[in-house]
Structure 1
Amino acid sequence: MSKNYLNSPGLSQANQKVVLSAWARSLQLEESALHRANDDATTVRRFEIAAEKDVADWDPNTATFIQLFNISILFAPTWFLDAARDIDDEALGLESTMLELGYAADARSLGEETIFYAEDIPFYDDARLNVTSQSRDARRLESACPPDDTAAMPLDSLDHFFTISAFTQNTEPIAGAGYDVFSSTVGQLAVLVAAEHRTKGYGTFMLARAAEECMFDGLIPQWVTPVGNEVGEKMAHDVGFLLSGFRISVTFA
C-alpha cells in the first residue's frame, strides 16, 4: 500500500477528526487546519513543526515524519525542515531519505512504524481468566519476558494496565496490556505476553481487551507496531484495527 493518502474508508470521518485533533493538540497546531487538509485535496497536506518550539513530550533532538489519513506532519529542527521541503511524502517516508537528510548530524534511525486505529472490536470471553491490576503482577510478568520488551515502557508505568492468569493458586501471570492516554482522546495500547505463552493467541486477546477498555473510557484505541512486524500487524487485523498511517523517526548525535 502506498504511504500517501491513507484515508481509511473504515474509520469514520468523525473519528478521523478526533484522531487528528489529538495530534494537533500534541504539537500545538490548529485542529481545524488538519481537518481541512484531510478533507480537501487542494489544501496544504504537509505540516511543519520546528523542533526548536517548546512542545511537551517531543524530543527536540529528533526528526519525526508522520503520514496519517490524508495529511503528513514533519517535526524536526529548522535545518532539517528546510532540507526536506522539496522532497515528496513518498520519498520522505523512507528511512534511507531521513538518514540521508540527517547525515551531517550523525542521524540514527529509531525505526519505521505503522499506526492503526479501531472503532469496533470483536468480543472475547475472559470468564476463565483471572484479571488483576496489581503492580506486583505486572512486575512478575515483566520478569518472564526478555528485558528488551519492557525496558522502554514497563507495563505498570502505563496510565491503565492489567494482567491475566489462570484461576489456580499461585499461578504466574500469562499476559498483560494497558494504555497511556494521548492528548485526552486517544489510548496508546501496549501488550506483553510471557515468553513461554507466546504464539497461543494471548497477544491478540489482550489487544482486543485493552482496546475495549479504551472505548469504555471514551478513547479511540491506537496500536503502533514496527513496519514488517508480522505478528503485530496480524494482531491488529484480527482485532479489527484499521491501517491509518506510518511514522519514521531519526535522532541526532
Structure 2
Amino acid sequence: MSKHDLNSPGLSSANQRIVLSAWARSLQEDAASFHVANEEPTNRRRFEIPADPTLEDWDPHTATFIQLFNISILYGPQWFLDAARDIDDEVLGLESTMLRLGYGAGARSLGEEVLYYAEDIPFYDDARLNVTSQSRDVRRLEAASPPDDTISMPLDALDHFFTIAAFGQGAEPIAGAGYDVFSDTVGQLMVLVSAAQRGKGYGTFMLARAAEECMFDGLLPQFVAQVGSEIGEKMANDVGFLLCGYRTSITFD
C-alpha cells in the first residue's frame, strides 16, 4: 500500500476535519492549525508534540509517528523529536527508523499500522443471529480465540461491545466487536472472531455492524490494522473503509 496521496480520493473534507479535530483534542493542540496545514498539500507539515503525562490518550513512555491526510504528527520525548527532525516522513514512518532513533533508550516496537475511516457502509442482515452484550459471552469468545488476539484489550473493556451466536440454548459465540469513543467524535473499532469460525466472513460482518453502531451514535468509525495484514485490509475494503493514514509506534524501557 502506498503512503502517497492519502488525501485523494479519500475521506470528504468535512470528515477529514472531524478526524483531525479528534486527534488535536487528544493532544491538546489547536485543531485549526491542523486544518489549515491539511488544506495545503503542496507544503506538507509535521507537528511535533512533546510527550506529556497529562494527556489521557497518550503514553509519555512512547514515541508515535502518524501520517494522516496531508499532515504528519510526531509525539514523543523531546530528545526523540530533535533526533527525528531532519528525517523525511517516508523514512521516519519505518519501524526500523523509529527503533534506531530510540535504541539508546531501549526502544521496542509497537508495530506499523494502517488507519482507516468510513463514511458509508453496506447493510448486512443479522436476522438469523442472536446478538448479545453480555460479558460472559465475550469471555467465552476470548477463550475460543488465540491469546495474541485478546492480550491488548478484552472486548468487554470497550465502551460498547456485542457478540453474535446462532439461536439456541448454549450456542457458542461466533464473533464479537465493539468500539471505544475517542476524543468525543470517533469510534475506535475492534473485531474478534473465534478460531473455528474464521474465513467465513464473520469478521467483515462484525466490522460493518460495529461501524453502523458508531454511526448511529454520531461517531465516525475508525479501524486500525497492522501493515501487511491481508485479512485486515480485505475486511476494511469490503466494508467501505478508506485508507487515510499510517501509524508507527515504539515504547521505551
What TM-score comes out, normalization by structure 1 length? 0.97
Q: How does 1:88-103 map to 2 (within 5 A)?
A: 88-103=88-103
Q: How does 1:26-65 map to 2 (within 5 A)?
A: 26-41=26-41, 45-52=45-52, 54-65=54-65
1:183 maps to 2:190:
no
Residue 107 (structure 1) shift: 1.2
Amino acid at match of 1:78: Q
Residue 96 (structure 1) shift: 1.1
Q: How does 1:187-198 map to 2 (within 5 A)?
A: 187-198=187-198
Partners of 1:54 and 1:131 in 2: how far apart?
38
Amino acid at match of 2:248: I
Contact 1:4 1:89 in 2 (8 A): no
Partners of 2:44 and 2:205 in 1: how far apart?
40
Contact 2:145 2:195 in 1 (8 A): yes
Partners of 2:77 and 2:92 in 1: how far apart?
15
Partners of 2:160 and 2:213 in 1: how far apart?
9
1:232 aligned residue:
232
Partners of 1:180 and 1:202 in 2: how far apart?
20
2:143 aligned residue:
143
Cα RMSD for the two superposed structures: 1.2
Identity percentage of aligned residues: 75
34-43 or 150-159: bigger deviation = 34-43
1:84 maps to 2:110:
no
1:154 aligned residue:
154
Partners of 1:29 and 1:194 in 2: how far apart?
40
Contact 2:108 2:251 in 1 (8 A): yes
Stretches of structure 2 lacking an aligned partner (at least 5 in a row): none
1:206 aligned residue:
206
SS at match of 1:178: strand
Residue 41 (structure 1) shift: 3.2
Partners of 1:172 and 1:52 in 2: how far apart?
44
C-alpha spacing 1:209/1:196, structure 2 compared with 1 (3 Å) = same
Residue 82 (structure 1) shift: 0.5
Residue 4 (structure 1) shift: 4.2
Amino acid at match of 1:244: C
Cα deviation digits, residues 180-200 of structure 1 (max 9, x gap): 000000000000111100101
Contact 1:51 1:77 in 2 (8 A): yes
Cα deviation digits, residues 191-233 of structure 1 (max 9, x gap): 0111100101000000000000000000000000100010011
Residue 20 (structure 1) shift: 0.4
1:249 aligned residue:
249
2:126 aligned residue:
126
Residue 57 (structure 1) shift: 2.2
Stretches of structure 1 lacking an aligned partner (at least 5 in a row): none
Residue 8 (structure 1) shift: 3.6
Partners of 1:57 and 1:16 in 2: how far apart?
20
Partners of 1:148 and 1:7 in 2: how far apart?
33
SS at match of 1:125: coil
2:73 aligned residue:
73
SS at match of 2:22: helix
What TM-score comes out, normalization by structure 2 length? 0.97
177-186 or 136-145: bigger deviation = 136-145
Contact 1:65 1:249 in 2 (8 A): yes
Report how many aligned residue pairs link the two structures.
253
Amino acid at match of 2:87: I
Contact 1:131 1:165 in 2 (8 A): yes
Cα deviation digits, residues 74-102 of structure 1 (max 9, x gap): 00100010011111111111111111111
Amino acid at match of 2:180: D
